[in-house]
Amino acid sequence: MYTLIDGKLLAAEMRGELKEKTQLFEKERGRKVGLAVVLAGDNPASQVYVRNKIKACDEVGIKSFAVYLPQNVTQSVLEQAVKELVSNCAVDGVLVQLPLPEHIDAESVLKLIPAEKDVDGFSAENTGKLLLNEQSLVACTPHGVMKMLEKYKIDTKGKRAVVLGRSNIVGKPMAVLLLNADATVTVCHSKTQNLKEECLRADIIVSAIGKPKFLTADMVKEGAAVIDVGMNRDEAGKLCGDVDFDKVKEKCSYITPVPGGVGPMTITMLMYNAYYAAVRSKT
Ligand code: GUN
């Protein structure tokens, strides 16, 4: 029998706690926590994510600053918008939704966000601090996964963890967080040989590769915990994760659904990061 990790419920609980914290912040500092979200272009998935981020801000009492720019925005207009948000003392965190339109140099845009307002945890400084196991703003998705493991008391100490995917946003920070939590971590990617054997050894699998139903039951050890970061569409256009959920769940001790698993936790950790940045700000 498996336990379903209810990300939606966990996120709702955490947002309730966060709302109390942001109210206290407002009382003490005479202003709200502020989070800016920049969306450039018309990527439909990004539009949904940004809408959900703004909605979550309202829910937890964070003031949102949304900036929408067209698909053909120039580098300089986008950079100017980010610069203005960064220098606004009512804005504690700035997030630029990725991916940016192809003609934009995303790295130059992201570099404009100082570490203390980098609520995505993407900057070199925050990434470096994570590696050194120092307090920092941690990338929201892997941070949310760690919260899920903690809340469901899934032991990481000395356990074999396999991370599928090596992106800067999810795979790499996920591996570091698991390592910091005393797991024995293997990162698998498109060039990995014997991927099935690597997965079969794992007590915990975190999949973030973006391939629908990639992780099948024959790749999972009996009793493993499986966390699905994937957000894909199947042949019928239905939202699905990286995990062949219906078959894999029968072998698991714990498993996350898609939707209703990691997704709501990612946004909750963004709210948490904005609050964390606000508490540390001087304004
Ligand atoms: N696009 C997909 N995931 C993310 C994320 O966590 N942050 C940003 N800024 N863009 C994304």
Distance 215 CA to ligand 1 centre (A): 23
16 half-sphere exposure, CB direction, 13 A CA radius: 6
Query: Ligand 1 pocket: which of 39, 53, 95, 119 to mutate (most atoms <8 Å of CB)?
Result: 95
* Best CA proximity match to 230, nearest among 249, 220, 246, 244: 244
Q: Whose CA is nearest to atom 2 of ligand 1?
A: 98
**Confidence category of residue 17, pLDDT binned at 50, 70, 90:** very high
Element (H, E) at 39: strand 34-40
Separation of alpha carbons 28 and 24, rounded Å = 6
On whether the CB atoms of residues 46 and 39 are closer than 8 A, the answer is: yes
Residue 186's DSSP bridge partners are 162
pLDDT in tens, 159-176: 999 999 999 999 999 999
What's the DSSP call for residue 113? S
pLDDT in tens, 24-70: 999 999 999 999 999 999 999 999 999 999 999 999 999 999 999 99
Could you list the beta-strand ranges (E) of 41-155: 63-69, 93-96
